[in-house]
Each structure stands twice: as C-alpha cells, then as structure tokens.
Amino acid sequence: MFAALIPLVLGLAPQLAGMIFGAKGADATARIAGVVQTVVGAVADLNAPDGAAAAVAHIQSNPQAASDLQVKLADLHAQMQKEQDAEADAQRKDALEELKARFGDTASARDMATELAKANSGLAYGGVVVSVVIVAGFAATTYAVLTHQLNAVDGQFGSVLVGTLAAMASQVANYWLGSSMSSSAKNALLAHAQNNLASSMPASLVRMVGKG
C-alpha cells in the first residue's frame, strides 16, 4: 500500500527519504501514511486495496491538497528529526556516563591507595604487592616457557598461565599508568615500598626475572 505513495511523498518532501529507508522505516511509513490519510480525508481509504492510488490521484489533481500535504510532511520530518536527535543525545549521554563510571572506579582505587599511604597504613602496599607479584610471575613464567625449562605437559600449562598472567599484567599497567591522577603519591608509595618488596621476594625469583 505505502509503496504507491513513495513517489508522491518524496516528490513533496524528499528529506523524508532517510526516515523511510532508515532503521525505523516501519514507524516512519506508518506516520507518513497517517498524514496522507488526514489530508485526503474521506476521499480515499488507504487501508482499501485501491486506496493509495485514489489518494495519489486526488492529491495530484488538487494543488491545495498537495500544498497542505507538503506542509504537514515537512512538520512531520522536523518532529521525527527532533526525536532522533534526542535519542542520539541520550545514547551519547549513557555512553559518557558509563565511561565516567569506569574511570571513576579506577580513580577511586588510586585515591584510596593515596589516603592509606598518607595514613601510613600497611594496607596501602596491597596494590603494590599484588602488582609486583603479578608482573614478576608473568616474567618468570614467560622466561621458563621461552627457555624450554618445562616439559611438554608443563609447557602447555605454562603457555596458558602466560596468557592469563599477561591479561592480569595489562590490568596492572592500566591501573598504574592509565591516568595521571595521584601520580605523585603513587611514585612516593612505590619508592617507599621498593626496599621492603625487594627483601621479601625470593632471591631465585629475583634472579630469574633479571635474566628475563
């Protein structure tokens, strides 16, 4: 039914092409058909088999009807464009809020570490210890796999472990290097904890990491 109206509609309001053939084309065509029905009134019933043809014939032979339809189609396009813009703005806002929330989680973790460091709390070194253990484990496992220090079965397990530790090491890098927030406190915390961490790590692991 609506296909017969497309040439007429696009001839009067070509800007509606994007709406008709867009992602929400079904909704757009229904609303356009409603506008056409309003203009033709009782002259044609668009739900009837020959209703679209009768509507086209009426509008083409009636300049006033054609003018009224053109105005109404322009108003409809402006309304639908406004709705699309509002929906796009809402989607962008949601995406921005999600991004802010992700950054906020990371920033909150850094801020907590900073406050703990200022309070000289032992918990402040938790992030440092975990980060060093992950990176050291990744380096040691990678070294063992690359130098074939593992047998065939252990080598397969080592490869899987390397992949897992690589993902965890990436998270460590994002945590410490992903933002400049609290960078001064972070550097101070690392410098203060370096000696304690070095003395607490097994010497064999330190040598293996150094070779890697």
Domain ranges of the chain: 2-94, 120-211
Q: For residue 93, what are the CA distances in angstroms to 83, 89, 105, 132?
A: 15, 6, 18, 37
Q: What percent of the chain has pLDDT over 70?
A: 59
Q: In the predicted model, is pLDDT for residue 120 greater than 60?
A: no
Q: What are phi and psi of 182, to 5 degrees?
A: 60, 30
**Residue linked to tokens 């921005």:** 96
**DSSP of 6-33:** HHHHHHH-GGGHHHHTSTTHHHHHHHHH
Q: Do the beta carbons of residue 46 and residue 33 sit within 8 Å?
A: yes
Instruction: State pLDDT tens for residues 147-194.
Output: 766 555 455 666 677 677 777 777 767 666 554 444 544 555 555 555
pLDDT value of position 23: 85
Q: For residue 123, what are the CA distances in angstroms to 106, 110, 112, 115, 193?
A: 17, 13, 10, 10, 12
Q: In the predicted model, is pLDDT for residue 10 greater than 80?
A: yes
Q: What are phi and psi of 22, to 5 degrees?
A: -90, -170
Burial of 97 (0-12, 13-18, 19+ CB in 10 A): exposed
